[in-house]
Amino acid sequence: MKSTANRNSIFLVALLATFFFQPVHAQSAKAGASAGKDWGVKSLQIASAAQGGGFHALATPLAPFWEKDVGVPVVVSTSRGSNENVALLERGEVTLAMVTGASQAEAWNSEGSFKKPYRNGRLMFAFYPSYAFFFTKADGSINSVKDLKGKRVGLGPGASTWDFYMGRILSAHGLEKGKDYTPVYADWTDMATQVGDGTLEASAALETTPAAYQLGEERGVKPLTMDPAAINKAVADYWYYFKGKVKANSMPKGYKGGDFQTVGWMGPYMIAK
């Protein structure tokens, strides 16, 4: 698939990230290897998410590099995901955690499911930018995001994260959840399958999620045009969005047009207490 190189590059970024966060002061290899023990730390734990998911796949390559550097075991643990990771870090049950910008922002501001401010997380780095698009069947009558009014639209695996990202893109287009469209939450593969069999009119996707690209290879898909004014509004209203584009040859098979204009955001993030 066309996106294979892009997805593979994410894992390269995860590996390279380990080198950008080495100690900047000069020290011998022996001193570096004993750093964790000198701090009185017996192990470091990275909270990721479920096995088989993106968080776990990104965190796993980091562990052996950091373990070698600090001289103590570095363990990648599973969790229920970003929101739980914020709480685990706050309670001191893990040393490091992977989070989305959505979870970190809501935790900091005591919004959403967070009933108090969670402000012990400190940003280490972001893994990569994400770029969003919505798609439908190649032979469907829907052509733009604004055409999603009155439709069933897949937003992502869960409301807590994907209302924050995909839902606000729709809101910038004048479409409000429950009033102008019906949201559907499922994993990326399930949503693409439902688009393919016609039980779902359209679904959200990222340049880094393979399901839309797989459907494109099998049947072709139609990414939906975003309104430039809506892109500007989303970027102006929400700090984490930025204007972005996906190269035409990196869009799913069936896309016709030049570089795809969209919004993006950074993340996931690695945070430490």
Q: Which residues of 149-177 are buried (b: 16+ CB within 10 A; e: fewer)?
A: eebebbbbbeebbbbbbbbbbbbbbebeb
pLDDT at 205 over 70: yes
Q: What is the DSSP string of 175-230?
A: --BTTTBEEEE--HHHHHHHHHHTSSSEEEEETT-HHHHHHHHHT-EEEPBPPHHH
Contact 183, 213 (CB under 8 A): no
Task: Name the band, by pLDDT with cuts 50, 70 and 90, for residue 52.
Answer: low
Query: Average pLDDT, stretch 237-252?
Result: 94
Percent of the chain scoring above 90 in pLDDT: 60
State the pLDDT confidence band at 160, using cuts at 50, 70 and 90.
confident
Residue 54 banded pLDDT, cuts 50, 70, 90? confident
pLDDT for the residue numbered 9: 44
Mean pLDDT for the chain overall: 85
In the predicted model, what is the mean pLDDT of residues 161-188? 95
Distance CA(221)–CA(154), nearest Å, equals: 15
Residue 40's pLDDT band (cuts 50, 70, 90): low
Indicate if the pLDDT at residue 217 is higher than 90: yes
Distance in angstroms (rounded) separating the CA atoms of residues 211 and 214: 5
Question: What is the mean predicted confidence (pLDDT) over 73-85?
Answer: 91
pLDDT value at 14 more than 50: no
